[in-house]
Structure 1
Amino acid sequence: MRHRRLALIDMGTNTFHLLIVELPEPSHQQPVTLLRTKVGVRLGEGGISKGEIAPAAFERALHTLVGFKEEIELHQVTDVRATATSAMRVTRNGPALAQAIFEQTGIRVEVIPGEREAELIAKGVRRAVPLGAQPHLIMDIGGGSVEFIIADATTIFWKQSFEIGAQRLLDKFFPDPSGVFPPEAVAAEQQYLAEVLAPLAAAVQEFRPVGVVGASGSFDSLADMQLGQLRTEAELPPSTELALSSFQTSYQQLLSLTHAQRVALPGILPMRADMLVVASVLIDFVLRITGITHLQTSAYALKEGLLAEMLEQ
């Protein structure tokens, strides 16, 4: 009898992820991971703030999906689920990209709304971090959108997706990412966040989360900076404790360096060197409005949430 093999594709605004698992028989056992990989596609680069996917990014996305299709065939996958988020949600030519992917690979891409994205992220994070009985603030900083969820191990109390991802913040506040991020740009981003994230501030007052769980590339990078080395997707543990002092040190360091110096830091992917600056301003803002001092990362997010959902069925 052939085992069921699932391929889960998460097409984010910065990064495309592919997870291939085998579902064991009997089904109450844990799925076995066969492949976990990611590609920095930067789908939002050069266009997301204008409401379109730029031609080069469009090509990178297609090329990546053709590569994923090869892996899927190689692993004799029986079911494929592909989801796309902010960049394909809000761009004029997002539907054209979904169509081109289908024509070239046969993979059907499901473009999901922000609320659904938040729900799946929470389900994925719960597989990595035991949230227990106290509410935690889960945040996922994508390139296009940022999801915030207040949840414990069983209940989602509040969730919202905001179109303020790192690529958008970069376009808006960091016109010359080759240099140092100036104090006035930090202040401008903070002021903008205070306006846009008013619903988050209200939810935090109401539900009083005790810790922050960060699920996204930016948090992985900060954990790598804490360790002083860049880890591959396969080397990342499900969850890492991020010391507040380590975050603050990394944040100050990122603010004081040029692009070339940021890229040279141990633990930094070149693709993230600039986004991490605007993302860190966002993390710092959230820590300040919540007063939270306990930080954890989750290597699991949307695609693991999809897996969790499929296992429930």
Structure 2
Amino acid sequence: MKKRLALIDMGTNTFHLLITEVDENGQRHDFVKTKVPVRLGQGGISNGAIAPEAYERALQTLQDFKRQIDAHQVQTVRAMATSMVRNAANGEAFVQDILEQTSIKVEVIDGAREAELIYYGVRSAGVLDAQTALIMDIGGGSVEFILANNQEIYWKQSFEIGAQRLMDQFFTQDPIPAESIAAEKAYLAERLQPLTEAIAKYKPTVLVGSSGTFDTLCDIEALRKGDTSRQQHIPAASELSLEAYYAIHEELLRKNHDERLAIPGMLEMRVDMIVLASILVDFILQTYNLDQIRVSAYALKEGVLQTVLHEV
């Protein structure tokens, strides 16, 4: 029996739509896989409300998603909203407007559930093994950290320190000055105290980056080597050497907006936030002595897919 599903991830920066069909053997056929830079947090994340322009962009994007869902005669629709919506003063009204205008029922999930769903998605990409990994998902509003292996989650927490929030706080000049980098790292050291304690206990050996920023870093590295295969198909699991990451990281810090945009593989919607996100990656690698980076192209929406298929 084939199941046709639509999965929507309403992130703070990007809205994702996946329309897929899964057969009885668990084989997937994707009809639509798209991401739209809605920037739901723009102009409002630091004020605790969705700004009018972002609100409108989001509704228009979801109306377009609904047209695609209807065109593919989807049976099951799951839409998840995360950090921006769960923290916004007008979040409830926003969810109600979506229901009235598109008939899409949005589930607003808390940080713990978001982390759990990201774990299911990452696990289904095949990047985890028996050793303990630190999974990291950098969103615009929140960052999820999960300590786990391919069998179980040991610890998980969502922190409201996403790239849009970091950008509002620390990205006052471009290129970013050394004192802003130092200020971001000092802030992270303070905010991530619970993670530091968990890492001391569970001792992960590898960093697993989930989607987003990490996909873009892999795209840039592939094109540097003349490998264009990722332009056609992004593999579920990739590796990124520390050497390759640091070469890109230093370039991101050195360049301004237009120069970063000219880097082959850079996405316009990520061109500024990736600076703050990369500083966060550097902080994690250095602070917790991790010497390997794996990347999962799968994240929240693939995790939701796993829950629909296996009811976990």
Cα distance in 2 for partners of 1:29, 1:89 equals 32
Which residue number in structure 1 is paired with residue 88 of structure 2? 91
Which residue number in structure 2 is paired with residue 30 of structure 1? 27
Change (3 A) 1:74 1:234: farther
Q: Which amino acid aligns with 2:259?
A: Q
Q: Contact (CA 8 Å) 1:36, 1:234: kept in 2 or not?
A: no
Mapping for residues 233-312 of structure 1, pairs under 5 Å: 235-312=233-310
Cα distance in 2 for partners of 1:233, 1:185 equals 34
Cα distance in 2 for partners of 1:68, 1:182 equals 40
Instruction: Report the secondary structure of 1:187's partner residue.
Output: helix
Instruction: Report the secondary structure of 2:279's partner residue.
Output: helix
Q: Point out where structure 2 has 5 or more consecutive residues left out of the alignment.
A: none
Mapping for residues 156-305 of structure 1, pairs under 5 Å: 156-176=153-173, 179-228=174-223, 235-305=233-303
CA offsets, 1:186-208, max 9 Å, x none?
A: 00000000000011111111111
Q: Contact (CA 8 Å) 2:146, 2:157: kept in 1 or not?
A: yes
Change (3 A) 1:112 1:199: same
Q: Contact (CA 8 Å) 1:13, 1:143: kept in 2 or not?
A: yes
Change (3 A) 1:130 1:281: closer
Cα distance in 2 for partners of 1:227, 1:23 equals 30
Cα distance in 1 for partners of 2:229, 2:99 equals 32
Q: Contact (CA 8 Å) 2:138, 2:277: kept in 1 or not?
A: yes
C-alpha RMSD over aligned residues: 1.5
CA offsets, 1:237-261, max 9 Å, x none?
A: 1011111011101111111111111
Structure-2-length-normalised TM-score: 0.95
Change (3 A) 1:117 1:231: farther
Cα distance in 1 for partners of 2:230, 2:51 equals 28
- Number of residue equivalences: 308
| % same residue | 54
What's the offset of the Cα at 1:37?
1.0
What's the offset of the Cα at 1:164?
0.1
Q: Which amino acid aligns with 2:243?
A: S
Q: Point out where structure 1 has 5 or more consecutive residues left out of the alignment.
A: none
Q: Which amino acid aligns with 1:263?
A: L
Cα distance in 1 for partners of 2:183, 2:285 equals 18
Which residue number in structure 2 is paired with residue 140 of structure 1? 137
Structure-1-length-normalised TM-score: 0.95
What's the offset of the Cα at 1:3?
4.0
Q: Which amino acid aligns with 1:15?
A: T
Q: Which amino acid aligns with 2:92?
A: P
